[in-house]
Amino acid sequence: MSDAVSPIEVVITGLGIVSPIGIGTEEFTSALKAGRSGISPCRIWPDIASPDHVAGEVKGFTDETAKKVYLKSLRKNLKAMCREIQLGVASAHMAVENSGLDLTAIDHGRLGIEFGANLMLSEPEILSEPSVAAKDEADKFVFSRWTTNGLPKMEPLWLLRYLPNMPACHIGISLDCRGPSNSLTMDDASGGVVLGEAQRILQRGAADIMITGCTGTTMHPIKTLHQALWRDLAKSPAEPEKRARPFDLNRDGRVVGEGAATCLLETRAHAEARGAQIIGRLLGTGSSCVSSRDGKPNYRQALANAMKAALRSAGKTPEQIGHINAHGLGTPEGDILEAQAIYDVFGEELGRKIPVTAPKSFLANSGAGSGMLELATSLVALREGFIPATLNYETPDPACPLNVVAGQPLATTNRVFLTVNVTRAGQASAAVVEALV
């Protein structure tokens, strides 16, 4: 669903990025220009269930760097944050810093948060000792022993470390956000949905500034096991950096990953009043969920619905869009359905011509973090006049007849783009954004 075009313009004034190809906009942009993949064997959890342990890992983000660099003002709170939460909170603080916002000069009652996250899981070792303590003499887990024997061995802050609303909580406390606050768990569709929610809050006049972001991972040991059981993880070729192959004829699955990104959204009036540098405009958003009565998702229809709704919300026609930032998961069936959805919205002639980029070829799939990270790829690239190339697109697939940008970045002067994502359950979201120099 989407709202009609509002006279209140929503702009982007800050960007925070924590990704497999770099932390911060400078490293991130440099990697996009150079065509440098962030996919490699996982070092944090070297035994994850992905083939050859390949993943899109944020390599420059460790407990020590979090304490000393990215979250130094929150060192005492780090023990209450799992890695996903840390990534998200760090990206939010980066976005505020990037925006030049003076926190001492604003009305904190009009500073809000809209944040997306995955459902968060603890690592297996966290539960191993409590579970063993609840076993009987025959080495069998006994539920009646959990409260007396197992639970006392749980870490005291366990629940707080893994609640998906905690990124917004930590951001709100640390930055003194007293305005509207909401947390969403929409997996891959989270990015477009939080943008839409934040945009409508600003357009209703309920806030002046919204810290709007997402964090996520599919690289977690348990989540990676789930992905492996679904049998759609990429297994080839041998080189890790070539595993993610959106829309390529020889693609064979998704690649797990992690990451977070945050945009600082403001009304144009507020941004101009404080002399902020405006780096983009959020023109419109849309979302849709389509499934049969027996729960089978209809990805094609959901994607098409979301894209159409975003275009209506933005007041744009397909001909005015400069490029599409695709979900591009890299699964054989999923990419075909996405290509069909693009044709449903753009028509066959324009569908064959409009440039398409697929950032998961750089970043892998971070679940809830994907949408905002992918939006960031187009936003930073367009500010420098190019559309990012899609890595590993070597052999076009006749079933996906799209104009995929490959080889080298594509120069462009059209800075309006459409970004789209969809979940395994058939929930889709889309956003139309204009990058500004």
pLDDT band at 435 (very low <50, low <70, confident <90, very high): very high
Please name every residue paired with 352 in a beta bridge, in sequence order, or none if there are none.
Answer: none
- Percent of residues, the chain, with pLDDT higher than 90: 91
E strand or H helix at 184: strand 181-184
C-alpha 416, offset from chain centre: 19
Per-residue CA distances from 391 to 322, 335, 377 (Å): 20, 15, 13
Longest C-alpha distance within the chain, in Å? 71
Q: Cβ atoms within 10 A of the Cβ of 24, count?
A: 18
Phi, psi of 141 (to 5 degrees): -65, 130
- The model carries a pTM of 0.95
Tokens at residue 60, please?
């420059």
Q: How large is the average pLDDT for residues 153-180?
A: 94
Quick check: 1 pLDDT over 70? no
C-alpha 220, offset from chain centre: 15
In whole angstroms, what is the distance from residue 216 CA to residue 85 CA? 8
Pairing of strands 280-289, 427-435: antiparallel
DSSP symbol at 59: T
Rg value, the chain, Cα: 21
Tokens at residue 147, please?
């409260």
The CATH classification number of 10-122+160-435 equals 3.40.47.10
pLDDT tens digit string along 232-251? 999 999 999 999 999 999 99
In whole angstroms, what is the distance from residue 169 CA to residue 174 CA? 9
Whose CA is closest to 38, among 360, 328, 392, 394?
360
Q: Secondary structure of the chain: what % helix, strand, coil (to 5)? A: 40, 25, 35
pLDDT tens digit string along 93-144? 999 999 999 999 999 999 999 999 999 999 888 889 999 999 999 999 999 9
Amino acid at 214: C
pLDDT band at 7 (very low <50, low <70, confident <90, very high): confident
